[in-house]
Amino acid sequence: MKLFRETIKVHSEGRRPGFFMLTKPVQEIIDRSCVQEGVCVVYSHHTTCSVMTQECSFDESYSGLEFLQQDLTDIFEKIIPTCRKEGQYMHPGPKASEFGLQHNESKPESLNTDAHLRSVFLGRSESIVIINGKLDLGEFGHIYFVDFDQTRPRDRQVQVQIIGLGIPCEFFAGDWETPRFRQFIEDFGKTAATIRFLRSMRVAVIGKMSGMNDILADEMSVFKKLGPEYVHDTLGPIYRNMEQVTEAEIDERIRLDKEIFDVDPKLSYDSHAYAARFYLGIKKYLINGRFSAFTIHFDNVSFDGRFKQLPLMAASHLLAEGYGYAAEGDSLCASMVAAAHCLGGGGANFTEMYTMDFDRRAIIFCHAGEGNWATCRDGIKPKLIDRFLGEGGLENPPTPVFIPKTGPATLTSLAPIRGDTFRLVLAKGQMLPKDDLTRCEMPYFFWSPGCGVERCVEGWIKNGGTHHEVISLGDIAERWKMLAHYLGVEYVEL
């Protein structure tokens, strides 16, 4: 059983009864509660106010009230006329007037007996059943808060308490021997495993780029809502690990790299060895800290003074090994890359929208040079090049360069909206076989969105999609949708 409570604030102007439709804000509270089956109680502490359910009348009187609201006001005026002078009703008597003065209520403001009586007739609460996470109001029903006190403008509060089960579930109807059922079970299993993975995930965060606000999220909200724990650290432990790496470990890494990559003949042993040492130092740090994902802001590496290169090869190797990674301190994206590995079986990449190719109806993706080389196209060996970058005044970082497998691919972004409200933005598309950017010294992807280039980019911006993204091989949209459902995250598919 789950209890969830929030308050809605409204302002009434006085002079006439005020009606406020609360259907949408109450539903938003239910969405935040993640309760799927239960009861929502909407109630008021104010003894001159009411809560009711009724349909919307659409048409309005000259006073600004919907026709049904005006009719109700007119009927009340006949049976409980508005209190206009002292003595019209027995209340307020001398003691009540004195009590009001002690609580900063003037004598004219205490002439609201009609509002008290009308509140008694309509009541100050409504209980609405929640089914599948939605208010069961019928086809035309809405929730209204009514302030009958006409004596002065007032700030009012409406309480919403939700009681119920916050356990979402999935349903399947069909033949259990069909491929559709097997796919459903696989999607559900992968989603359940990813939720468990997120709940135990630790993410190493080494620096954040200042001024990049779409990488910022409330970390306690992330922990409470999604599961990952962010651990802020420095480069010191990684540097100590690098000092302990042996020459034998470095030579073994270089040997493996020569099997995996077409290694640039211009890449010196010393440069390759340093990149291998950096990779091994980071990996030992992740293992010792039980981290599933990490992010390093490159300025921290540049300004530290102890490092010769940026860890592009290290990030690429660790992505290929199933770790989550994002640049510039984007801990939320790093978490989602790790989740995408689990959802899709390892085919995830950290990336960034770069530009649009209107001739090919595609979007080009790339970043500084990190990429999951395990997603490289079959039959084409990834390259490891000696690359001038110049960032931070450091030496050339050995950089993996590859083009991904063609076919279906899923683009996702988890956007922090406010507090513990997050939105998963997703688009499905196809990786194209474009592979002739010979002067592009980093992994790059030509991806054609199924909804169209312009609509995809416009929708991404409109829905708050972040500039860092996760792109996964295969169509895993249904798994992302399930994941959003179980985590209580908004889901938008373009």
pLDDT of residue 172: 85
396 within 8 A of 386, measured Cβ to Cβ: yes
Ranges of each domain in the chain:
2-165, 179-493
Tens digits of pLDDT across the chain (494 residues): 789 999 999 999 988 999 999 999 999 999 888 888 899 999 999 999 999 999 999 999 998 999 999 999 999 999 999 999 999 999 999 998 889 888 888 888 899 999 999 999 999 999 999 998 899 999 999 999 999 999 999 999 999 999 997 777 788 889 999 999 999 999 999 999 999 999 999 999 999 998 888 888 889 999 998 999 999 999 999 999 999 999 999 999 999 999 999 999 999 999 999 999 999 999 999 999 999 999 999 999 999 999 999 999 999 999 999 999 999 999 999 999 999 999 998 889 999 999 999 999 999 998 988 999 999 999 999 999 999 988 888 999 999 999 999 999 999 999 999 888 899 999 999 999 987 787 888 899 999 999 999 999 999 999 999 999 999 999 999 999 999 998 989 999 99
pLDDT of residue 135: 96
Tokens representing residue 351 in the block = 């990336």
Burial class (CB in 10 A: 0-12, 13-18, 19+), 87: exposed
pLDDT of residue 255: 96
Is the pTM higher than 0.75? The answer reads no
Task: Tell me how crowded residue 178 is: count the other CB atoms within 10 A of its CB.
Answer: 10
Q: What angle do CA 415, 422, 333 make, to 5 degrees?
A: 40
pLDDT of residue 374: 95
No. of H helices and E strands in the chain? 14, 22
Q: How far apart are CA 29 and CA 162, in angstroms?
A: 9
b/e map of 233-260 (b: 16 or more CB within 10 Å)? Answer: bebebbeebbeebeeeebeebeeebeeb
Q: Which residues contact 123 (CB under 8 A, 6 or more apart)?
A: 50, 51, 52
118 within 8 A of 51, measured Cβ to Cβ: no
b/e map of 46-64 (b: 16 or more CB within 10 Å)? Answer: bebbbbbbbeeeeeeeeee
82 within 8 A of 197, measured Cβ to Cβ: no
197 within 8 A of 338, measured Cβ to Cβ: yes
Pairing of strands 202-206, 229-232: parallel
pLDDT of residue 427: 97
Residue with token string 């340093």 = 274
Tell the CATH topology of 2-165: Jelly Rolls (2.60.120)
- At residue 156, φ and ψ (nearest 5 deg) are -120, 155
The secondary structure element, H or E, covering residue 70 is helix 67-79
